[in-house]
Amino acid sequence: MSLMASIDLFHAVAGLLVGLLVGVTGVGGGSLMTPLLVLMFGVSAKTAVGTDLLFAALTKIVGSAVHGRRDTIEWPIVRRMAMGSVPAAILTLLVLGWIGEVGKSTEHVILLALATLLAVTAVAVIGRKWLFRHRADLGATHSHGATVYGTMALGALIGAAVSLSSVGAGAIGVTVLLILYPRLPVARIVGSDIAHAVPLALIAGTGHWLMGDVNGVLLMNLLIGSIPGVIVGSYLSSHAPDKVLQPLLATVLAVSSWQLFLKARATDPVKVEAPAAAGQAH
């Protein structure tokens, strides 16, 4: 199959829109792309998560390069988060591989986790502006040890969440870092979070690829749109009205969360098997 024949316009446009939103809002692609693939394009949850992880990693490399040139990455934070996230990601991938071999409940688990994390992300997006104003008071009593271990614990949580659902490295990570590092400029917190997300998404995405959960053609189509999208979105970010974007984004995430929760209920293996067993009894 030729390269031009494998290009899907709808997937490329989806990648473009998500890339724009990531560049403008700073929220990770997993919060937007994974539910889009599952709900609109009918991609299975495992394939959507695996493909989106590599999609997010390659897209955020662009963001990391920009932050690196501007010297807005706090590397000690990146290292502390990685100390928690890398082991957690590997452990979660091993568990996912084991669950996938035991039965077909993996899809249901991923949908539930994705719905829950999208709801948390929606709350984090809404609460971020309040945190910007009050984070100095919230983080005033943190000791150095508590900050270090809190960052490692945050990394472990994000490592597990991202490996399971591809959501968590964006809004949730930045929200907690704002509390842990109240005196650090916001640009350095965002830059550190993006820098940490790249290797984590690559590790988790590679694990899903080894399990056969990555669609290479789909990934290519998404990147065709997302790379220029995230570049344009980054330039537009300073002109976007925050008071409009944040509620809109939170609403999209909340609706996606609810739809994924309904889909998870419909695919619950316990509820699906129960009526079948009842029918056989008659």
Please return the burial class of 85, using the count of CB atoms within 10 Å of its CB with bins 0-12, 13-18 and 19+: buried
Kindly state the DSSP code that residue 234 receives in the 8-state scheme: H
Residue 200 lies in a domain: yes
pLDDT, greater one: 91 or 188: 91
Dist CA 27 CA 256 (whole Å): 15
Look at 38 and 65; give whichever has higher pLDDT: 38
**Whole-number pLDDT of residue 233:** 75
Give the structural domain span for 125: 11-277
Give a yes or no: residue 245 inside a domain. yes
Say whether pLDDT at 280 is over 60: no
Residues 153, 249, 224, 212: is their CA dihedral positive or negative?
Answer: positive
CA–CA dist 269, 153 (Å, integer): 32
Rounded to whole angstroms, the Cα distance separating 198 from 177 reads 17
Q: Are the CB atoms for 254 and 31 separated by under 8 Å? A: no
Please give the pLDDT value at position 129.
66
- 282 located within any domain: no
Q: What is the pLDDT of residues 136-149, one digit of tens each?
A: 565 555 678 888 99
Q: What is the pLDDT of residue 133?
A: 67
Residues written for the chain: 282
CA distances from 220 to 6, 93, 105, 214, 224 (A): 9, 23, 29, 11, 6
In a domain, 5, yes or no: no
Per-residue CA distances from 143 to 52, 154, 280 (Å): 37, 16, 62
Q: What is the DSSP string of 13-72?
A: HHHHHHHHHHHHH---THHHHHHHHHHTS---HHHHHHHHHHHHHHHHHHHHHHHHHTT-
At 237 the pLDDT is 61
The answer to whether 186 touches 69, Cβ cutoff 8 Å, is no
Residue 6 in any domain: the answer is: no
Residue 159 inside a domain? The answer is yes
105 touches 267 (CB < 8 A)? no
Asked whether the predicted pLDDT for residue 5 surpasses 80, the reply is: no
Rounded Cα gap, residues 126 and 34, in angstroms: 20
Q: What is the pTM of this model?
A: 0.74
Q: What pLDDT shows up at residue 100?
A: 64
Q: How many domains does the chain have?
A: 1
Q: Is residue 3 in a domain?
A: no
Q: Is residue 1 part of a domain?
A: no
Of these ranges, 48-52, 123-127, 136-140, the one predicted with the greatest mean pLDDT is 48-52
Counting other chains too, the contacts that 99-107 makes at CB distance below 8 Å and 24 or more residues apart are 100/46, 100/211, 103/269, 104/269, 105/269, 106/46, 107/44, 107/45, 107/46, 107/267
3-state secondary structure of 142: coil
The Cα diameter of the chain in Å comes to: 70
78 pLDDT higher than 90: yes
- Average pLDDT of the residues of the chain: 78
